[in-house]
Amino acid sequence: MKYNRILLKLSGESLAAGSGHGIDTDRLNSYATQIKEMVDAGVQIGIVIGGGNIFRGLSGASKGFDRVKGDQMGMLATVINSLALSSALEAIGQGAQVLTATAMFPIGEHYSKWRAIEQMEKGNVAIISGGTGNPYFTTDTGAALRAIEIEADVMLKGTRVDGVYTADPEKDPTATKFNEISYDEVLARGLKVMDLTATALCKENSMPVYVFNMDIEGNLRKMLEGENVGTLVSAR
């Protein structure tokens, strides 16, 4: 495999599989199967999953919610998704541990870098939930932070598109895909790969980001075997 330890960022919206909300069990089980396959191949995996399929703090704030409380609700949504993924993994014989950014025992263990690494080295999946534990940060930023903390070789951003494009390919049919792009070019072009904080954090800590379509079964294995199924964002 191309990488020994990865941080996989999954979107909550993808977990809803097109319905816009809730958890689609077929999609959940597909993710679990692909993840287990990679653990069986020797890859250490940490996961951060968003909560947009349940509640998004920023959209809540636009509807009158207090921003801090809205973001806290979003953090709890990520915990719900993390519990669902851990359950799906355990159902197929893959050990998993939910770690939470704020103390939430017995729902999950309080996150620490060393506990996450310990779980991964034992062959379990470390599912790191609750964002950064602070408001005003997205789960992309949480994923970037955790990738750096757990000393991942790469942060994988699983989305519903197959990489980074010059424009939104769902809206602009003339958009072209990058095989590789630098952090600086992402920022200069204003591309919506991640939010600015997450992109800057990865740039400052030389954490490469690989954007690919996780919803196509087999893409995770192909990417880890070195096939070009997405876009690599790095210092170049």
3-class SS of residue 65: coil
39: its two tokens: 């653990």
**pLDDT for the residue numbered 20:** 72
Of 68, 70, 141, 128, give the one whose Cα is nearest residue 102: 128
In angstroms, the first-to-last Cα distance of the chain is 21
Separation CA 65–CA 171 (nearest Å): 30
172: its two tokens: 């602009």
pTM listed for this prediction: 0.94
Structural contact between residues 8 and 46, judged by C-beta atoms closer than 8 angstroms = yes
Separation CA 197–CA 20 (nearest Å): 26
Length reported for the chain: 236
Q: Which CATH superfamily is domain 5-216 in?
A: Acetylglutamate kinase-like (3.40.1160.10)
Torsion, Cα of 133, 136, 140, 146 (10° steps): -30
Separation CA 58–CA 231 (nearest Å): 27
CA atoms within 13 A on the CB side of 95: 10
User: Tens digit of pLDDT per residue, the chain (236 long)?
Assistant: 789 999 999 999 888 887 778 999 999 999 999 999 999 999 999 999 999 899 876 666 677 779 899 999 999 999 999 999 999 999 999 999 999 999 999 999 999 999 999 999 999 999 999 999 999 999 999 999 999 999 999 999 998 889 999 988 878 889 999 999 999 999 999 898 899 999 999 999 999 999 999 999 999 999 999 999 999 999 87
170: its two tokens: 């769902």
Hunting for tokens 């287990």 — which residue is that? Answer: 36
Structural contact between residues 108 and 100, judged by C-beta atoms closer than 8 angstroms = yes
* Those residues with Cβ within 8 angstroms of residue 196's Cβ, 6 or more apart along the chain or in another chain: 187
